[in-house]
Amino acid sequence: MRKIALTVLVMVLVALASGAALAQAPIESELVLITPVSKFIHDAALKAFADYARERYGVTVKTSGLPAGTPVAYGRIVEWKGKPEADIFWGGESALFEKLADQRLLQKLELSRELWDSIPPAIGKPKPIHLKDKDGYWVGTALEPYGLVYHPRRIQRLGVPEPKDWDDLLNPKLKGEVAQCAPTRSSSSNATYEVILSMYGEDKGWEWLRKLAANTGHFTARSRDVPTVVAKGEYAAGFAVPSYMAFEEKLAGFDLKFVAPRNAFVTPEPMAILAGARNPRAARAFIEFLLTERGQMVFMERGLFPITPKYKVQGSPGSTAELAVQFTGGLRSYFDTEVSNVYDEGIAAKRSEALKIRFRSEIEAVWKKP
């Protein structure tokens, strides 16, 4: 009788233990991102993570990314009302992440202390660029300048010197040759408009932007189209292009050049876990992975810069990492240099509505294809 009781006990214990083990499977086997960060980056990141998860946790994670422009992604998250179809929101302005956190649509990251501390709170002068949220709702993943791109052969044919600074885009010979995306539709464009306004002041800034519009031959529907049309040679130069998008075109075999001029906006590509996410543990594992050297490598090989001073873009001669360094003007880490930044998050947030309205009335409504 005792024997039987013992057996039962053992069995119950085993069952409990295995139940607990099940409940504590390290991470879920699915992960969905919603992100404006292009496929080029997010696919690579997901793929690297899937490999990592298999090695580290022995879990095969089915990953997928929902590509969506920043506003769309934001809008969908709001529409989901806490029952999200994705686990992670990645990319866009950090201000949006704060807005989401205010609406309780994000959950705290709760990363390990060591990992969290490895990321400096901010870089840049005179205005700081925050690299992580003081309340712990989001964290930066990589640094990425929004610069300008040009097609060297087209530029040469037009008899224009290769652009180095923002003002070079106003060259009258570039009339109709600039492509940009409306700041109402693109966060990179919006940020760069903000940079121009901060640099030149409100009135001069708008005058500058109107001149740029006069040189603009094409307002693309989305920011991603800007490097595409320039790479192909449809237009000679593009405004407000994230470095990696330009680099992606370069890797695709196009002859395209990138410059991050003075005060170019640098984004930390924030990442957050959505409140109510179905796969919170996989989401956290993904973020932790991205902040490791292996994770950062994904970015560094694709024209982005590390989010921590611990790593530098580096590789064997001829590697894509080295190609990226060359492509972005020799920079290996934003922590090696003084980052000049005039973009003020507070002002930008306050001005964002007015900026859009003014763009609509002063540029979009009157713009005529040259």
Partner 1 sequence: MTNTGGGLGAPPRTALPALGVAAIWLFLLVFLVYPLARIFYDAVTDEAGRLTVAHFVEFARDRFYQRSLVNSLLLGLGTVAATSALGFAIAFLLVRYEFVGRNLFSYLTLIPIISPPLVGVLGFTFIMGRAGTVNVLLMDWFDLVRPINFVYGVHGVLLVETLHLFPMITLNVVDALAKIDPALEEAAESVGARGWRKLRTITLPLTTPGYAAGALLVFIWTFSDFATPLVLGVHDLLAAQAYLNIVQFVDRRLFRMGIVISALMVVLALGFLIAARQYVAIKDYSSLAYSRVARRRLSGLRQALVVVFLSLVMLASFVPYLGVALASVGRGWSLTPFPVQYTLHYFERVIVETPKYILNSFLYSALAVAIGIAVGVPIAWLLARTRIPGRDTLDGLNTLILAIPGTAIGIAYVRAFHFDLPGLDRGLTSFWIILPLVLAIRRLPYTVRGSYASLLLVHRSLEEAAASVGATGVRSFRDVTLPLVWRGVLVGALFSFMTSLQEASAVLFLSLGGWETMTVGIFSFYIAGSANEAAALGVILILVAALSVVVINRVAGARMGGMFG
Query: Which positions lie near partner 1, rule CB under 8 A?
Result: 32, 38-40, 64-67, 69, 71-72, 74-76, 78-79, 83, 85-86, 96, 151, 153-154, 157-159, 176, 182, 184-185, 217-222, 224-225, 227-228, 231-235, 245, 248-249, 252-255, 356, 360, 364-365, 369
- Picking from 119, 73, 66, 76, the residue whose alpha carbon sits closest to that of residue 93 is 73
CB of 72 to partner 1, least distance (A): 5
Whether the CB-CB separation of 181 and 212 falls below 8 Å is answered with no
When the beta carbons of 86 and 282 are compared against partner 1, the nearer one is: 86
CB of 304 to partner 1, least distance (A): 15
Residue 145's DSSP bridge partners are 266
Half-sphere exposure of 22 (CA within 13 A, CB side): 6
Q: Is 181 in a helix, a strand, or coil?
A: strand
When the beta carbons of 22 and 365 are compared against partner 1, the nearer one is: 365
When the beta carbons of 218 and 284 are compared against partner 1, the nearer one is: 218
CB of 41 to partner 1, least distance (A): 10
CB of 264 to partner 1, least distance (A): 20
When the beta carbons of 19 and 75 are compared against partner 1, the nearer one is: 75
Beta-carbon contacts of 98 under 8 Å, excluding residues fewer than 6 positions away, are 133, 137
Alpha-carbon distance of 239 to 178, in angstroms, equals 7
CB of 109 to partner 1, least distance (A): 22
Alpha-carbon distance of 348 to 352, in angstroms, equals 6
CB of 252 to partner 1, least distance (A): 6
When the beta carbons of 322 and 362 are compared against partner 1, the nearer one is: 362
Query: In 104-236, where do the E strands start and end?
Result: 106-107, 122-123, 125-126, 129-130, 139-140, 144-150, 178-181, 216-220
Count of C-beta atoms within a 10 Å radius of residue 70:
21
Does residue 370 have a cis bond before it (omega within 30 degrees)? no
When the beta carbons of 115 and 214 are compared against partner 1, the nearer one is: 214
When the beta carbons of 124 and 163 are compared against partner 1, the nearer one is: 163
CB of 68 to partner 1, least distance (A): 8
